[in-house]
Amino acid sequence: MKDLMISIENCQKIIQATISKTTPLLLSATAGKAKCCIFKVSNTFIGNSYQPSVVSIGPYHHGKPNLKMIEEHKWRYLGSLLSRTKEKSGKTLSDYLLSIKPLEADAKECYSETIQLESDKFLEMMVLDGCFILEIFLKVNNPQLFEHDDPLNTMAWILPSLYRDFLRLENQIPFFILEKLFEISKLTDHKLESGTTLSLLALQFFNRIMLRPLKVIEKCGRKLGGKHLHLLDLVHSSYTYELKIPSPIKVTETPIIHCISKLRRSGIKLNQVKDQEISFLAVKFKNGAIEMPTLTIDVFMTSFLLNCLALEQHHYYISKHFTAYATLLDCLVESNKDIGYLCDCNVVKNDYGTDAEVAHFINTMGKDVVFDIDQSYLSELFKDVDKYYQKCWNVQWTGFKQKYFNSPWSFISALAASVALVLTFAQTFYAIYGYVHPQ
């Protein structure tokens, strides 16, 4: 046990040595290629939602002073993982390092910036960060593995911060590195169900904050397999893999639709889809109603949405479904009143702030994004909604209903006026008839 556990003093020395040999990052020669999937986010994206708040994963933010708090816990978690590994399978730290050595070149090509770390320091970072992630997954899956006074478990704010940091675009390591480490470590937890894949274990971990039905998570774990770029790509795919881009019969320009307040005046309704098994991205237009699953907007979801958008904007081969969805929300929301209506319809659950804050987030998260709306999975919806809106009789009839049938008193007034009009017409008719045909 002693030869496996690394002291805090040694940990600090290793960290300082790594920092001193790190040089500024430069644009990689592989940036823009299919292998490149972990990006420093462009300055056109506003905010710091792409940078870690408590833990650094990978090289981009490695060694930053504001992220040192978790570093000593990484070594402690590596020690606990190694102790179980040696006990059950005889694997040591050397086995972990040797297993990913052949993957070093491919791993470096995943980053859009040139990684200037020496080979041994880079491999050490991959093993340390990767095993920390795996050990967090295993301990959350089996809380008995946590030490009694482990601050990562006892301090309530730590895990929510880790959920967000593990899904930040600048804070990723390649998925194939995690899978190789998982192959060695997966026998170290006797509580792990047989056949549990890394994809399923990761989705189960994030589901503690995303709260999707368990059968959805199990289905995603089976369907998605292990062909992922990194953790962000895995969770992104779990929401998008069933969405299809329609094949247009003829190429027509897709219109931008109006906000929900204007759409309502044309008779278009907004209905909540109560099936929790459906991705919140699965929006449809049917029988004059936009059908939308509920989207819970909170601190985690805002960070996740922004990072999915950044991933789609930086990686050419990733589907642009989140970008299309963000565009739809931006169209529907023009004011606080629109957010209020979305909340009233249970299409949006606001756990974020005021209606004004949610409206501001929605109107800015898709700012300056670039994508072809004609090639999006929502292109037919945009066309159908606009076509329905253009029918003037819908607008006129809906306006009439809202004016005269919106409340019991307005209906009674309209009915009384109609009766008076009919009686007046009848009186006029019989007066003329009696004059023309006197008895």
Q: Which of 315, 427, 439 is nearest to 371 (CA)?
A: 315
pLDDT, mean of residues 191-199: 80
The rounded percent of the chain whose pLDDT value lies above 70 is 82
Q: Which helix (H) or strand (E) holds 91?
A: none
Listed range (20-34, 162-176, 229-243, 356-370) with the worst mean pLDDT: 20-34
Residue 47 per-residue DSSP state: S
Nearest alpha-carbon partner for 273 in 264, 285, 263:
285
Least confident of 175-179, 314-318, 322-326: 314-318
Instruction: Give, for 90, the enclosing helix (H) or strand (E).
Output: none
Least confident of 164-168, 381-385, 414-418: 414-418
| Tokens encoding 11 | 């940990």
Please list, in sequence order, all residues whose beta carbon lies within 8 angstroms of the beta carbon of residue 127, skipping any fewer than 6 positions away: 78, 93, 96, 97, 100, 181
> What is the rounded average pLDDT of the residues 404-431?
69
CA distance readout (Å), 233 to 28, 37, 142, 262, 418: 21, 9, 25, 36, 62
Calculate the average pLDDT of the chain. Answer: 86
SS3 of 361, please?
helix
Q: Can you list the alpha helix ranges (DSSP code H) found in 155-284? A: 158-165, 175-185, 198-210, 214-224, 231-240, 260-265
Read off the amino acid at residue 62: H
Q: What's the confidence (pLDDT) of residue 17? A: 43
Task: Answer yes or no: are the C-beta atoms of 237 and 191 closer than 8 Å.
Answer: no
Band (20; pLDDT cuts 50, 70, 90): very low
For 242-255, b where at least 16 C-beta lie within 10 A, e where not — what string? ebebeeeeeeeebe
pLDDT of residue 405: 61
Residue 373, classified by CB atoms within 10 Å of its CB into exposed (0-12), middle (13-18) or buried (19+), is middle
Closest CA to 84 of 47, 37, 139, 46: 139
Residue 379 has pLDDT above 80, yes or no: yes
The answer, yes or no, to whether residue 203 has pLDDT greater than 80, is: yes
Q: Where are the beta strands (DSSP E) in 47-141?
A: 113-114
How many angstroms separate the CA atoms of 204 and 217, rounded? 7
pLDDT at 18: 40
Element (H, E) at 26: strand 26-27
- Look at residue 191 in the predicted model and tell me its pLDDT: 65
What does the domain layout of the chain look like in residue ranges? 8-240, 260-392, 407-439
Length of the chain: 439
Q: For residue 306, which of 167, 207, 208 has the smallest C-alpha distance?
A: 167
Q: Are strands 348-350 and 295-297 parallel, antiparallel or unpaired?
A: parallel
16 — pLDDT class (breaks 50, 70, 90): very low
pTM of the model: 0.84
